[in-house]
Amino acid sequence: MNNPSLLSTPIDSVEAFRVSVPLAQPIYAIGSLITSREFVFVRATAGGHTGTGFGLTRGANIETVVDRQITPFTTGRSIGEIRAIWQAARDSTRMVGDTGLFARALAVVDIALWDVMTRVLGVPLWRLLGGRQQHIPCAAIMGYYRQGDQLSVLRAEAKALVKAGYTRFKMPFGADKALDVQRVAALREVAGEKALIGLDANAVFDTPKQAVAAWRSVERYSPAFLEDPLPGVEWQQALEMARSTNIPIAFGEVLSSPDAVQQLSAGIDILRPDATHQLGVTGYIQGVSRALEHRIPIFPHYFPDIHAPLLGALGGWMTEESPMEADTVGFWQLRATQPVIENGMWHLTDAPGFGIDWDEERLQRFRVSRE
C-alpha cells in the first residue's frame, strides 16, 4: 500500500439484490429437491471501485435487512472504518439480537466492504492480511442424493473428480443407512485408499447415539470426519461428542456468533466457520482466533472465493469447492473466469480484493426482481 490516505476514501453506495442460478441436475438435500440456488449479493462502491459480497439466501429476504439495518451505517463512512461500521451495526440490534438474518445481512455487507477497500488499495485481501500461503488444499463437494441410479451417478462424479486431480472429497451422509454404506464404499473404491473422505450429516440425526451407530457402519472405509451430526442449536452437544468419542467431529457452519465459534474451538476436532453466516470477514477473523491459537484444524463452509483467501492469510486446513464435474451450487456460472485448481490445490491470485472476475451479463440475467 503506497498511499495510506486511500483509507479515507468514502463509501458512496451499498446495494443489495438476489440472484437465482439454475442447476443442471437437481439434487436432494435436507429433505428437499433443489433445482436452483439463490444468492444475495451486495455491491459497495468507493473511489470508482466496486466491491462484492455474497452468500446463500436460504429463502430469506436478506436484502431488506441490508437496506434498513446496515446501509445507514455505511454510506459516507470511509473504507478504513470497516471494524467501526461492523460494531455500530451490531450495537444497533440490542433489542432484537444480532444473529439470524441480521448476521447474514451484515456478513454480505462486511465482505463487500473488505473487497472494495482492498480494490481501492490495489492489493489482494490475502496479502493485506499478511498471508504467505498461495496454494490451498481443496476438497470437492460431491455425492449428493440424486434421481436415478444413486451408485452409478456417484461413481461417475468420483471418476470425473479424480481425473481432475482431486484427492479430498466431502459427501452427504445419514439419510439412508443401507444406501450410505454402499455409497461410501463406492467412493472409497474409486478415489483410492489414500483419498480423504468427509461425511456431511446435515444435522439428520436426532441423538448422538444415532450418529455414532451410523459412523460405525462405515468406519471400515476410513472416513476422515463426521460433519454436523446434530442441529446447529445443539453445538454444545456436538462439542461433547468430540470430547467423548473417537469420531472426528466437524462443526460450526450454522453458528452466527463469533463468541459461539470461539467456544466451539475449546474442544471440537474440526472447526467449520463461514464468513457468510458469521458476520463477514470481520466476524470470521474474530471467531477463528481461538482455533488458530490452539491449532484446531479450520475447514470453512463452502464459498472458497471468500474462504481460500482467508485461509491463505490466517491459516487453516483446507477449503471446499462445488466443481463443475459434480456441480451442486451453480456458483461457477457467475464467474467470468474460473479459479485455478490443480492437483486438488486452489491457487490464489494477486488480483485486488477477493480476486473474483464476475460475469456481469449472467449476474443481470439471473437477477431476481424485488417484489
**DSSP at 201:** -
Say whether 14 sits in a helix, a strand or coil. Answer: strand
Q: What is the mean pLDDT of the chain?
A: 94
CA separation, residue 261 to residues 109, 202, 209 (Å): 20, 18, 24
Arithmetic mean of pLDDT, 206-223: 96
Per-residue confidence band for 270, with pLDDT thresholds at 50, 70 and 90 = very high
The domain 4-122+360-368 having CATH identifier 3.20.20.140: the answer here is no
Widest CA span in the chain = 62
Cβ contacts of 173-177, under 8 Å, gap ≥ 24:
173/199, 173/200, 173/201, 173/214, 173/218, 173/226, 174/199, 174/201, 174/202, 174/204, 174/205, 174/211, 174/214, 174/229, 175/28, 175/145, 175/204, 176/145, 177/214, 177/217
The CATH architecture that domain 127-347 belongs to is: Alpha-Beta Barrel (3.20)
Quick one: pLDDT at residue 147?
77
What is the reported pLDDT for 98?
Answer: 84
> What is the per-residue pLDDT across 45-87, written as a single tens digit (0 to 9) for each?
999 999 999 999 988 999 999 999 999 999 999 999 999 999 9
Whole-angstrom Cα distance, residue 274 to residue 208?
A: 24
pLDDT per position as a tens digit, 219-263: 999 999 999 999 989 999 999 999 999 999 999 999 999 999 999
- What's the predicted TM-score (pTM) here? 0.95
Residues of CATH 3.30.390.10 domain(s) within the chain?
4-122+360-368
Q: Report the alpha-carbon distance of residue 227 to residue 205 in Å, rounded.
A: 11
pLDDT in tens, 304-358: 999 999 999 999 999 999 999 999 899 999 999 999 999 999 999 999 999 999 9
Of 119, 125, 106, 121, residue with least CA distance to 14: 106
Angle at Cα 111 formed by Cα 109 and Cα 113, nearest 5°? 70
Is the model's pLDDT at 363 over the cut of 60?
yes
pLDDT for the residue 33? 83
* Contact indicator for 42, 54 with CB cutoff of 8 Å: yes
pLDDT surpasses 70 at 133:
yes
Distance in Å from the first CA to the final CA of the chain: 42
